[in-house]
Structure 1
Amino acid sequence: NETFSFNKVVGMRTPDKGYMKAPVIVRGELSEGVGGGICQVSSTLFNAVDRAGLEIVQRYSHSRRVPYVPPGRDATVSWGGPDLRFQNKYNQPVLIRAKRHGGTMVVTLYSSDVVNHQLRKVPKAPSEIPKEEHQSGDH
């Protein structure tokens, strides 16, 4: 019955903790900020826990499409703002293992073989990151 909070576990994203500047989405616009890219981690985690049948307690989508997960399968997080929270309703603990392979994120969940669950069908993430689309117009 434990509830996992992404922001609580990961903590504030700061340069002192090794986070660097990268693209972030602020009010629908691309910008740059410390900890940019963290949502690829939270979105990949969301898809893994959702597929495993854990109960999603809190999740917010980005204001624009992101290239690393299928449309509508993202989970934006921000310190002091949106969080990804989920609850383990199973009778056994769950181990979360997250790894980075180049620009790819892999999250695997492990538990006891006595957990009775059915995997949910979740669309596969694209294998290639699409090219950035630039719109012309007055700015």
Structure 2
Amino acid sequence: MILNGRYVNDVGGGISQFATTMFNAVFFGGLQDVQHTPHSFYISRYPAGRESTVSYPKPDFRWRNDSPYGVLVDTSYTDTSITVTFWSTKRYHIESKSSGRYAVTPFTSKTDSSPDCIPMPGAEGFKIDVWRIFKQNGRTVRTQKFHTTYLPEPRITCQG
């Protein structure tokens, strides 16, 4: 878990993978994103600017079926994957477009001798914009912009 700019051991491994998979199902299903929170650091296994995290008591991920049709949510998993499938009447063809990374911020390096230190490799922070493009009959009927700022992840070297 990321807490106060550092990795810490906590319960919840895999929950962000599910939240991100569900967020992308909502994104490409053309449904309403009510609340989502990207990770504070970029995590390379997720699509930049198109991911979500959850924790208790917050942040949370919420979405709403704003269509006039019911939506059946089907989930499945294996040892190496998570799948979320929505079954409903299709309203839109959704496309995604991303900007390049911009406002790149270098990371700092720190040494930590505490007994609960977790090393961190360090990664640049950046900003990115993602657009969700709603199409009907080949025509764009709406676009929605998602802006994400990723903080630089410090390089932490543990000593002791």
TM range (shorter): 0.5 to 0.7
Distance 1:122 1:69, change over 3 A: farther
Q: Which residue of 1 aligns with 2:94?
A: 120
Calculate the TM-score normalised by the size of structure 2.
0.58
Cα-to-partner distance string for 1:59-97 (whole Å, 9 max, x where unaligned): 111011123321111111112111111111111111111
- Structure 1 segments of 4+ aligned residues over 6 angstroms from their partners: none
What SS does structure 2 have at the residue aligned with 1:51?
Answer: helix
Match of 1:134 among 117, 121, 127: 121
Richer in strand (by share): 2
Higher relative contact order (CA closer than 8 Å, sequence separation 6+): 1
In structure 1, give the amino acid aligned to 2:92: Q
- 1:66 corresponds to 2:43: yes
Kindly tell me the number of residue pairs found equivalent between the two proteins: 104
Distance across 1 between alignment mates of 2:69 and 2:77: 26
- 1:55 corresponds to 2:29: no
- 1:109 corresponds to 2:109: no
In structure 2, give the amino acid aligned to 1:106: T
* Maintained 8 Å contact 1:66/1:74: no
Q: Which residue of 2 aligns with 1:16?
A: none
Distance 1:88 1:101, change over 3 A: same
* Maintained 8 Å contact 1:44/1:69: no
Structure 1 residue 138: deviation in Å? 6.1
RMSD: 2.1
In structure 1, give the amino acid aligned to 2:3: V
The runs of 5 or more residues in structure 2 that have no matched partner are 98-119, 123-154
The runs of 5 or more residues in structure 1 that have no matched partner are 1-23, 124-132
Distance 1:57 1:138, change over 3 A: same
Distance 1:137 1:33, change over 3 A: closer
Query: Bigger radius of gyration, 1 or 2?
Result: 2
